[in-house]
Structure 1
Amino acid sequence: MRRGWGPAVAVAALSLAACGGEGRQPSHAAAAPPEPPSPSSPPFRNVATPTAYVGDAACAACHTSAAAVYRQHPMAQSFHQLTPPVAPLESPLYNAATGFSYTVLRVGSQWYQEEYLEGPAGKRLHDLRRRMDFVMGSGHVGRTYFTAQNGRLFQLPLTWYRQHGWDFSPGYEINNARFDRVLPDRCLACHGSYPRPIPFLEGKYAALPPGIGCERCHGPGALHVAERQAGGARRPAAGREYDNTIVNPARLPLERRLDVCEQCHVHTTVTVLREGRDAFSFLPSQPLSDQVAFFKVAGSIDIVSHADRLRQSACFIATRGTSRPLECATCHDPHQPPPALPERSRPCVTCHAAAALAQRLPPAARRDHIASADCVGCHMPRVRERVPHSVFTDHWIRVVTAPLPPQPPRRGAAPIEAYFERDRAGPEAAIYQGMGAVVYASLANDGRVLAKAAAALQGALGDDTTRGEAHFLLGLAYRQMGKTDAALRALEQAVRIDSNRPDRLQALARVYERAGRPAAAIAALYRRALELQPALAWIRADYADFLHAQGWELRADAESAYRTALAEQPSLDVAWFNLGVLLTEEGRLPAASDAFRNAVQLNPFLAEALSDLVEIGTTPHAVLTVRTLGAPLETMPVRARPPGAVQLVVTIVQGRPAAVFFNLPRRSSVEILEPDGTVVRALPAGDQSTLTWDLYTERGDPVAGGLYRVRVTRRGAAGQPETLQMFSIGIVRRPVG
């Protein structure tokens, strides 16, 4: 079960997946004056010393009325277990990229999202259901849904949007992840209270409290509760000016108050966690820039990036050095539900009274600026954003109809730019700029930008031996570029810095495999990763693939690893397929058919690889025979391939077994890939309509048994490879001689 980029960049993947449509606008902001130096925060003991979270119920014991009111706030309803009702879906939604259709249905008291594939005459070739277990979103903008698989949460393909109704979840129309998108920690860090995470296992938690709770803004509450329960007093202890057992954001300097909001209300294309931080490590009163590095598309500010838009406002710039600055809490009381429409302009008139405006404005404009006018509706209009079917309030307060000021000159030609000043010019700036650029280019699948970003990050790191995450990202970039030696060096450095990270160990094991390193060294990396977190099913499935490729002696270990991985995460379709291949190689055909049936039930497109399984007979170093096997299942949802599609036959070419691809477009090339995109063999382009593969890997070894993708490409007008066709093949490898 080969995978590409791991949890380290999952949040960036989600951000990029949502790209497209309206909403990202040029900033056009005049250069703001330098920010005044921010005074330090007063000390709070629940931040300075390790303190446990206690949950909202402990807060409500004393703050009963405030807690009751806050429960009506959209933030308090931002994540919870599904409770009916669920809005009906009138007609199924069709995903053109995959051919799947989706609907929402109720079975008894449970709600499900269902995927199906239609064949000729409307006959269903495939259907798959997943229960809707959790909801993210209060419904003010929308609600997206998650299913639990052995306690691990996966996003579902359909989201309900307040402005539109049901449609695909953000990014799914472009890249349909079906039921396999794990809930990233960073998403839950903004849409919920801090859970009790399970180490190295995103999407699965030992405790999962609902909504955004009190402690997200006030910090962990165990110390505060303990001292209150011990002393009973509600005022500060003698000699203290304030209660320092719990953060009160009102006592923080402006920048730290803004950080409390900006931890979730800055929206950028790429988010990179600082070295040593995780998605849940930020605490109120700490500088947010110590937690993350934000990078946005250069020269633009997302409408949904409320705090960034607010910082462009003349009202904010003019007041930020005063005792009454315009800030988030000026208009938004975090303890109260949003105000009704007539009330939301009240903060505006504290500075912009109607009488004063009447003296400044021409007569024609005065009627729009009476005391009851809706200031927000005109000066902070609702704008359609990249999130599908959604509109958001533009927090850049201005005269919207006035000409925009000239856009300040860009610094350089980088596709992204830093949000925090420390990432523009600080001592670590070049490293974090390189990390952000690598993530951006990798997820945007832009090879040229990735090469530049990797070179920049390599140069910024120099001889560094402390920044494990930067070396890890660099290694992943080089691996994606096919630069095995460079990837190996970077990933070895990442593991030397911290050998207790399963994702780094797995990535290094994969590169060791490609480099032909000793099997014992590779196995040791996999075993160490799984010792750290046995529930990482995708790594265990990778380990099973590795054991499977080693030969007959390790087949029992490989089968055990496949079955353990599938018990933890039964939705791993490639692992089911490769288990079926292993069982076929052993002659256990009924068990193999069961495994293949599970694979096809999860992913009907794998039936294409089963329709003509390729069997090769090999010694450890040579392919001696080749033939096709009959389909292992009596019925399969195989759709007819279009006329002119590339075809594959196995035969003998010049006395040697081979697979021949024919009907190729001229000047096209063929790549045989593992399911995660790792190149197994590249066949160079030519003018002929056929290409021959000798069934060996790039390193000259016989190809291992398992599932492979075939990608047919041709250079486009800009010189970039364009994918013309992709299809799957299955290979069974038997020992001979």
Structure 2
Amino acid sequence: MKYAFLLALLLGGISASAATTAACATCHAAQARTHGATGMANALEDVRTCDILKSHPKLVFQEGSYHYEITRDGNASQYQVSDGKQTLRVPIGWAFGLGSAGQTYVFQINGRYFESRVSYYKALNGLDLTVGAQSTVPSNLEEAAGHALDKEAARACFNCHATHASVDRKLDLSAMVPGVQCERCHGSAQAHLAGFRNGQPHVGAMRQLSKMSTDETSEFCGQCHRTWSQVATNGPHGINNIRFQPYRLTNSKCYDVDDARIRCTACHDPHREVVAEPASYDAKCQACHAAVKAGAKKCPVSASNCAGCHMPRLELLGSHNLFTDHQIRIVKKNEPYPN
């Protein structure tokens, strides 16, 4: 019965990519049940169904001489910037980010993708400059609208916020599924599903993150969250790299490429939303620090709220959000941010 349902999905009227995601859920129901509500699964939203845009029919923001408006019109949203003399108005193409912290918009001008200069922030329930835009001064209306993305930057953005967004290393949204779905992390499921159709369910084994080493996991997650080598070579430096968890984690004294207890997936289940309460991670820390062991000291202060002390939450300028610093350390009062 299960195999018949898989076949029906694959031969039905929905796209092959969407059908594959639905087909995965028939066997991996537990993962599918929680994954759909995560920030990763909703890292890219269709404007037609975007809750933030639907619930905010008009958003306004003023920055210097530039006036910004995002307005809702049916199932579409329009992005507008005016300098008092001229107005540029374009339809929003995609909403990047679920909005648990913020949401940035992407649109096209003359066939080129732009990142909106203003973003929605949950803490404000409104608009402010997109992170990074504070250091720029627009010289014309197009620059005031947003940051123009070259082809590689546009491809990278969609690749990290969606599934099947490129073909032969070129941006191609024809088969794209919004959000980080099964095949974005586990690879193509076609051979795996073909095995099911042919009564050979073990054919076409897919990528298993649980089988990766600590270093492999950091490199894999770092494709989108930035690897150590990427940040060390190209920046950013200072607190601007607090968003790049694999880089920060690798800088931790306790990071060990041979110890699976310090890899990304030891604390975070990609199929579930990130747990925000620091105390919930105590058991993970105590797996190493409960007793005196080689290379791991027992904390003399407390056996609880480890992350609250050793992984401080810091605000990135203009983000209106606190980011957890993944460089695990003994934090000293008034110390400079360790890069």
Query: Structure 2 residue aligned with 1:145, among 105, 114, 125?
Result: 105
When residues 268 and 249 of structure 1 are mapped into structure 2, their CA distance, relative to the original with a 3 A threshold, is closer
Q: In 2, distance between residues paired with 1:153 and 1:231?
A: 44
Q: Report the 3-state secondary structure (helix = DSSP H, G, I; strand = E; otherwise coil) of the residue aligned with 1:188.
A: helix
Residues in 2 aligned to 1:254 and 1:321: alpha-carbon distance in whole angstroms: 6
Distance 2:102 2:299 in 1: 41
After superposition, the C-alpha distances for 1:528-565 in whole angstroms (9 at most, x for unaligned) are: xxxxxxxxxxxxxxxxxxxxxxxxxxxxxxxxxxxxxx
Q: Deviations over 1:661-688 (max 9, x none)?
A: xxxxxxxxxxxxxxxxxxxxxxxxxxxx
Q: 2:148 aligns with which of 171, 181, 186?
A: 181
Counterpart of 1:113 (choices 71, 75, 79) is 79
Q: Is 1:400 the counterpart of 2:327 in the alignment?
A: no
* Cα 1:175–1:244 shift into 2, 3 Å: farther
The answer (yes or no) to whether the contact 2:45–2:96 under 8 Å persists in 1 is yes
After superposition, the CA RMSD in angstroms is 3.8
Say whether the 8 Å CA contact 1:158–1:167 is kept in structure 2: yes
- Normalized against structure 2, the TM-score is what? 0.75
Does 2:315 align with 1:384? yes
Aligned partner of 2:263 in structure 1 is 327
Match status 1:374 vs 2:305: yes
Please state if 1:80 is matched with 2:45. Answer: yes
Check whether the contact 2:59–2:71 (CA below 8 A) recurs between aligned residues. Answer: no
Selected match of 1:58 from 8, 13, 23:
23
Q: Distance in 1 between matches of 2:323 and 2:246?
A: 13
Deviation at 1:211, TM superposition (A): 0.2
Q: CA deviation at 1:81?
A: 0.3
Q: C-alpha distance in 2, partners of 1:181/1:269?
A: 26
Q: Deviations over 1:370-397 (max 9, x none)?
A: 5xx3221211111122563333110011
**SS where residue 218 of structure 2 aligns?**
helix
Unaligned runs of 5+ in 2: 1-15
Secondary structure of the residue that 1:190 maps to in structure 2? helix
Aligned CA distance change for structure 1 residues 93 and 229 (closer, same or farther; 3 Å): same
Distance 1:403 1:94 in 2: 35
Q: Greater relative contact order: 1 or 2 (C-alpha under 8 angstroms, separation 6 or more)?
A: 2
Given the alignment of the two structures, is residue 207 of structure 1 paired with residue 143 of structure 2, yes or no?
no
Where 1:329 maps in the other structure, the secondary structure is helix
Give the 3-state SS of the residue equivalent to 1:347 in structure 2.
helix
TM-score in terms of structure 1 length? 0.37
Corresponding residue to 2:90 among 108, 121, 130: 130
Are the counterparts in 1 of residues 97 and 104 from structure 2 also a CA contact under 8 Å? yes
Matched pairs, number: 306
Which residue pairs with 2:164 in the alignment? 194
AA of the residue aligned to 1:396: Q
Mapped partners of 1:359, 1:138: distance in 2: 38
AA aligned opposite 1:116: S
The equivalent of 1:166 in structure 2 is 127
DSSP-derived class of the 1:220 partner: coil
Pick the aligned partner of 1:264 from 224, 227, 241.
Answer: 224
Identity of aligned residues (%): 27
- Candidates 349, 362, 372, aligned match of 2:286: 349
Unaligned runs of at least 5 residues, structure 1: 1-51, 119-124, 237-242, 272-292, 409-737
Distance 2:137 2:199 in 1: 57
CA contact (8 A) 1:197 1:206 kept: no
Q: Which has the larger radius of gyration?
A: 1
Aligned-pair CA distance for 1:108: 4.4
Question: How far does the alpha carbon of each residue in 1:5-44 deviate from its partner, in whole angstroms, 9 at most, with x for none?
Answer: xxxxxxxxxxxxxxxxxxxxxxxxxxxxxxxxxxxxxxxx
The structure-2 alpha-carbon separation of the partners of 1:302 and 1:172, relative to structure 1 and needing over 3 Å to count, comes to closer
Partners in 2 of 1:198 and 1:244 — Cα distance?
22
Per the alignment, in what secondary structure is the counterpart of residue 131 of structure 1? Answer: strand
Kindly provide the CA deviation profile for residues 587-631 of structure 1, in whole angstroms up to 9, marking residues without a partner as x: xxxxxxxxxxxxxxxxxxxxxxxxxxxxxxxxxxxxxxxxxxxxx
Residues 290-343 of structure 1, C-alpha deviation per residue, up to 9 Å, x if partnerless?
xxx9522578882112111111222224xx334x44111111011122235242
Work out the CA distance in 1 between the residues paired with 2:168 and 2:108.
15
The answer on whether the counterparts of 1:79 and 1:134 sit within 8 Å (CA) in structure 2 is: yes
Correspondence list, 1:577-592, <5 A: none
Kept in 1: contact 2:41–2:181 (CA 8 A): yes
Could you say which residue in structure 1 is the equivalent of 2:247?
A: 308
1:673-718 deviations in Å (ceiling 9; x for gaps): xxxxxxxxxxxxxxxxxxxxxxxxxxxxxxxxxxxxxxxxxxxxxx
Shift of 1:136: 0.4
